[in-house]
Structure 1
Amino acid sequence: MSENRQNSTADWDDDDLPEWTDDQFDRAEFRIGGKLIRPADGTLTKPGRPKSDNPKQQVTLRLDSAVLEGFRATGPGWQSRINAELRKALKLDG
């Protein structure tokens, strides 16, 4: 069952908000009358991750359950390890 919560907006006012920097304004989405003039670029705290020179592509791949379970059992980063093993098999490294 959901808990009934009081509106907590009365505990602060606009004076508590930090001032935006020029850099944050430069990256923020800009609209006039609901019309998008410029989309946001990155986030309000930093510009975002740089674009990769060799981006990976999302694919659908069917693997044996034993193979999948084996890689997942190695912990976080198992998808990157599958990629590394495929690169080795194709002699793409080195």
Structure 2
Amino acid sequence: MAKDKMKLDADDAPELTGEMMAKLRPATEALPDVVKRARGQRGPQKATTKERVTIRLDLDVLALYREGGAGWQTRLNDDLRDLHKEELPQ
């Protein structure tokens, strides 16, 4: 079907009546097998692997990592891990 023929017209949809509105149910109630968790919710974490900390860094060091774009915190973590790989448990 052509893209322009797929456009929906608001006049094609029936107006919801009070009776129709009363019958509406949340998707989690109407289709629990399809909607396993509410939108925007994460599933349970299997194990805590990270801890949120506050750390003060020199501005030039911070700028260097941020220049690399998204993922700079992971890169910083990886560099620290590599620096201390002999002392960390395997």
TM-score normalised by structure 1 residue count = 0.51
Who is 2:11 aligned against? none
User: Which structure has the bigger radius of gyration?
Assistant: 2
Tell me, yes or no, if structure 1 residue 22 matches structure 2 residue 32.
yes
Q: Go from structure 1 to structure 2 and tell me whether the alpha carbon gap of 1:46 and 1:88 turns closer, same or farther (over 3 Å shift).
A: same
Structure with the larger RCO, 1 or 2 (CA within 8 Å, 6+ apart): 1
How do 1:74-93 residues align onto structure 2 when only pairs under 5 Å count? 74-91=68-85, 92=88
Tell me which protein shows more helix as a share of its residues. Answer: 2
Q: Go from structure 1 to structure 2 and tell me whether the alpha carbon gap of 1:52 and 1:67 turns closer, same or farther (over 3 Å shift).
A: farther
TM-score normalised by structure 2 residue count = 0.53
8 Å contact kept, 1:72–1:78: yes
Q: How many residues align?
A: 66
How far apart are the structure 2 equivalents of 1:18 and 1:72?
42
